[in-house]
Amino acid sequence: MAAHDSVLPIIDLSGYINPKSPEHKEQVISQVRDACERYGFFQVKGHRVPLKVQEGLIQGLSNLFSLPKEEKLKLSFLKNPCRRGYEASGDSIREGDAFPDSKESFYIGREDPVFEPPGFHGPNLWPDLPEDKFRGPIWDYYEATTKLGRTIWEILLQGLGYSPALLDAFAKRPVVQMKMIRYPPLSANRPGQFGVGPHTDFGGVTVLLQQPGKEGLEVWREEKGAWLPVPSIEDVFVINCGDMIQKWSGGQYKSAKHRVINKADTERLSCATFWHGDFSATNPLNPNDPSKDTVGKLLLKRFGNQFSLPKEIMAAS
């Protein structure tokens, strides 16, 4: 495993999705397990998300973030009970950081017709842009990465010796949230300000697309005491495990700290699809886990802190 240490592995998922033999599939499962144990992060190719869909997403993000600020603020996520919509630069700060994140973001999730407390299901907010400029390509991408997130969960389960069929009970109507992000050019930041400050993701599997050629993501390597930059490669996704997976796998799969610093003097776009599972589902990575914590309970614990959810939403948890 020597060569692995200074770069994240790039795993070819075609060996799992379209295997030439059972061994081929097993090989991918064990590569993913090794990467999750060692880094909590890896990159994937052969994932079956068409390049056209990825390009459509990046173009859609560019269309959205170029809207006038007043237009974007009309869609503020702070006024939305499902926390869907627009988050302005400066709305998000973590304990210990000197400045709020410089990024601006836009959130969507499953498209459910009515709001359901505590706020993981409900309708999305869509900007006033023609269908083919935003909603169409964004939804295609959401669906494709939702499928990829499920495939990764299947692989993670098998890496721990469980059947992928456990996912049927875990994901009847999974919470899958998508965060589209724009990082301003470096010169727009204050000295020491992060695009996104150091954090771990709080839920299940994260499927991340970095705009090709726009670097900035770094992963903390505890053993080395150093940040490892994650290259931004066309048609390659970054996958990582959140805190729920670390907890539910008994620490076998890591939830690694990461951050974003856009060092370039051009904007950087990215998009994270957070695939969590059903709100009321319990641990599929250890079906004998005595704690009966649900996805919803664990998410609310963290969301509550980060977004200052209104009291009535917290009370419903």
Ligand X SMILES: O=C(O)CCC(=O)C(=O)O
- Nearer Cβ to Fe ion, position 104 or 201? 201
**Amino acid at site 172:** K
- Nearer Cβ to Fe ion, position 101 or 201? 201
User: Cβ 260 to ligand X, closest distance in Å?
Assistant: 5
Helix (H, G, I), strand (E, B) or coil at 44: strand
Helix H, strand E, coil C: the string for 191-224 is CCCCCEEEECCCCCEEEEEECCCCCCEEEEECCC
- Residue 250 phi/psi, 5-degree rounding, is 65, 30
Quick check: 201 binds Fe ion (CB under 5 A)?
A: yes
- Nearer Cβ to ligand X, position 32 or 207? 207
Helix H, strand E, coil C: the string for 111-125 is CCCCCECCCCECCCC
The C-alpha angle 65, 67, 71, rounded to 5 degrees, equals 115
Contact between residue 261 and residue 230 where contact means Cβ atoms under 8 Å apart:
no
Contact between residue 272 and residue 181 where contact means Cβ atoms under 8 Å apart:
yes
- Nearer Cβ to ligand X, position 87 or 278? 87
**Pick from Fe ion, ligand X, none: which does 260 bind, CB < 5 to 8 A by kind?**
ligand X
**Pick from Fe ion, ligand X, none: which does 181 bind, CB < 5 to 8 A by kind?**
ligand X
Quick check: 210 binds ligand X (CB under 6 A)?
A: yes
User: Cβ 200 to ligand X, closest distance in Å?
Assistant: 9
**Pick from Fe ion, ligand X, none: which does 36 bind, CB < 5 to 8 A by kind?**
none
| Span 283-312, contacts to ligand X by CB under 6 A | none
**Pick from ligand X, Fe ion, none: which does 270 bind, CB < 5 to 8 A by kind?**
ligand X
Quick check: 217 binds ligand X (CB under 6 A)?
A: yes
Stretch that binds Fe ion, among 99-107, 128-136, 180-188, 196-204 (CB under 5 A): 196-204
Strand 237-241 versus strand 205-210 pairing type: antiparallel
User: Cβ 177 to ligand X, closest distance in Å?
Assistant: 10
Quick check: 181 binds ligand X (CB under 6 A)?
A: yes
Among 61, 180, 196, 300, binds ligand X (CB under 6 A): 196
**Pick from ligand X, Fe ion, none: which does 210 bind, CB < 5 to 8 A by kind?**
ligand X
- 259, 267, 257: which is closest to 213 by C-alpha? 267
Nearest-angstrom CA–CA distance, 127 and 71: 8
Nearest-angstrom CA–CA distance, 25 and 146: 21
Quick check: 272 binds ligand X (CB under 6 A)?
A: yes
Nearest-angstrom CA–CA distance, 60 and 135: 8
Instruction: Using CB under 6 A, list all residues that contact ligand X.
Output: 179, 181, 196, 201, 208, 210, 217, 258, 260, 270, 272
Which stretches of the chain bind Fe ion, using CB under 5 A?
201
